[in-house]
Amino acid sequence: MGRSSLWLRPSSDPGTLPIGPESLRSIRRAMSQTVQRAIQVLGLIGENPSSIEQVASFMGTHRSTALRTLQVLEAEQMVVRDSHNVFRLGRRVISLANAALENIDLRSVAAPFLTQLSHEVEHTIHLAMLEGDTVVYIDKREAKQAVRMYSRIGNTAPLHCTGVAKAIVAFLPLEDQQRIASGIDFVAHTDNTLANTDDYLADLRAIVERGYAIDHLEHEPWVNCIAAPVFEASGQVTGSVSITTTTLSCDYETLLTMVPQLFEASFGISREFGWTGNGPGNDQG
């Protein structure tokens, strides 16, 4: 086969027919348009289940053309039609969407949001995630000030006295909260550290009410922190983002004024995971 032409052998003709470069480009354009139209139709049906007539109107084509597109998608289980000939997304689309969400890496998705938040508030930013019954720091942006936090990526966060941990645990199912609380030693790091299960569970309820966690000199006597949860598409909590300050760099009341920026980051990351405001975090959306 030459570089500039494609040769086809029709079943009814023992000879060969050349297809030149222009014809080949036309075929490719037509194939691209077909794929593009199919994707656009999936987008339409994803927003609103549609009839053949509605799809034809959307595509700007004859009903028969729209039907052929729908039949191809139907054969691949990308769409399914009901008894009224209304098409909805099929199980294969849902399966592919779930697979895509499962392969999203929290750290890489969160990175631009952490960087933006760091630029806005100029204090230490942490990203943490739940691993079993522990909370682990997985990313960090240092403060602009000379004073640095002792936290390190890979370290675990104490469950009862750090904002990143409490922001996650507060949005777990109640039975998980109770199990986790029963296993905490409640080591007193400062005079403000929560000392028992009852106080801890009460603090978790308060976190859900306001939508973010507070570490007010609970882990270290010179550090304050606010933290908000990160949710998956299902509404389950998967991690948290925090702003941490020292008493030398920022007073507690000023830190609380940064909650809107914190929410902007945590909600932004959550939406990248497919969260739409439904589930445990819906009152904070």
Residue 283 has pLDDT above 70, yes or no: no
**Claim to verify: residue 67 and residue 143 sit in the same structural domain:** no
- The model's pLDDT over 201-225, given as tens digits with 9 standing for 90+, comes to 999 999 999 999 999 999 999 999 9
Q: What is the pLDDT of residue 263?
A: 96
Q: What is the pLDDT of residue 19?
A: 63
Domain boundary residue among 58, 79, 99?
99
149 confidence band (pLDDT: 50, 70, 90): low
**Claim to verify: residue 155 and residue 176 sit in the same structural domain:** yes
Residue 170 has pLDDT above 90, yes or no: yes
**Claim to verify: residue 54 and residue 140 sit in the same structural domain:** no
**Claim to verify: residue 75 and residue 198 sit in the same structural domain:** no
Taking the C-alpha atoms of residue 118 and residue 126, their distance in angstroms, rounded to an integer, is 10
Six-digit token string for 172? 């777990």
Residue that has been written with the tokens 């550290």 in this structure: 193
161 occurs within a structural domain: yes
Taking the C-alpha atoms of residue 1 and residue 36, their distance in angstroms, rounded to an integer, is 29
Which CATH number characterizes residue 180's domain? Answer: 3.30.450.40
16 confidence band (pLDDT: 50, 70, 90): low
Closest CA to 169 of 143, 208, 197: 208
Lowest mean pLDDT segment, chosen from 29-33, 38-42, 90-94: 29-33
Query: Could you give phi then psi for residue 270, rounded to 5 degrees?
Result: -60, -40
**Residue 158, C-beta contacts closer than 8 angstroms, at least 6 positions apart:** 165, 187, 189, 219
**Claim to verify: residue 84 and residue 167 sit in the same structural domain:** no
Q: What is the pLDDT of residue 7?
A: 47
Taking the C-alpha atoms of residue 210 and residue 38, their distance in angstroms, rounded to an integer, is 44
Six-digit token string for 87? 């098409």
Taking the C-alpha atoms of residue 6 and residue 17, their distance in angstroms, rounded to an integer, is 8
- Counting every residue written for the chain, the total comes to 285
Residue 40 has pLDDT above 70, yes or no: yes
pTM higher than 0.75, yes or no?
no
Q: What is the pLDDT of residue 184?
A: 95
**Claim to verify: residue 94 and residue 111 sit in the same structural domain:** no
- The model's pLDDT over 46-91, given as tens digits with 9 standing for 90+, comes to 889 999 999 999 999 999 999 999 999 999 999 999 999 999 999 9
**Claim to verify: residue 121 and residue 233 sit in the same structural domain:** yes
User: Which has more confidence, 33 or 74?
Assistant: 74
CA angle 32, 34, 37 (to 5 degrees): 110
Closest CA to 214 of 248, 243, 249, 177: 243
**Claim to verify: residue 250 and residue 166 sit in the same structural domain:** yes
Supply the DSSP string of 119-159, one letter for each residue. HHH-SEEEEEEEETTEEEEEEEE--SSS------TTPBPPT
188 confidence band (pLDDT: 50, 70, 90): very high
Domain boundary residue among 99, 126, 143?
99
Q: What is the pLDDT of residue 153?
A: 84
**Claim to verify: residue 86 and residue 109 sit in the same structural domain:** no
Q: Provide the residue range defining the domain that includes 74.
A: 6-99
266 occurs within a structural domain: yes
- Full strand arrangement of the beta sheet holding 50-51: 50-51, 86-89, 79-81
Lowest mean pLDDT segment, chosen from 8-22, 53-67, 117-131: 8-22
State the total domains in the chain.
Answer: 2
260 occurs within a structural domain: yes
137 occurs within a structural domain: yes
Residue 30 has pLDDT above 70, yes or no: no
**Claim to verify: residue 158 and residue 209 sit in the same structural domain:** yes
Residue 183 has pLDDT above 80, yes or no: yes
**Claim to verify: residue 89 and residue 109 sit in the same structural domain:** no
Residue 96 has pLDDT above 90, yes or no: no
**Claim to verify: residue 80 and residue 143 sit in the same structural domain:** no
1 occurs within a structural domain: no
Residue 279 has pLDDT above 50, yes or no: no
- How many angstroms separate the first and last alpha carbons of the chain? 59
5 confidence band (pLDDT: 50, 70, 90): very low
- Full strand arrangement of the beta sheet holding 223-231: 134-141, 124-131, 237-246, 223-231, 213-216
Highest mean pLDDT: which of 25-39, 148-162, 271-285? 148-162
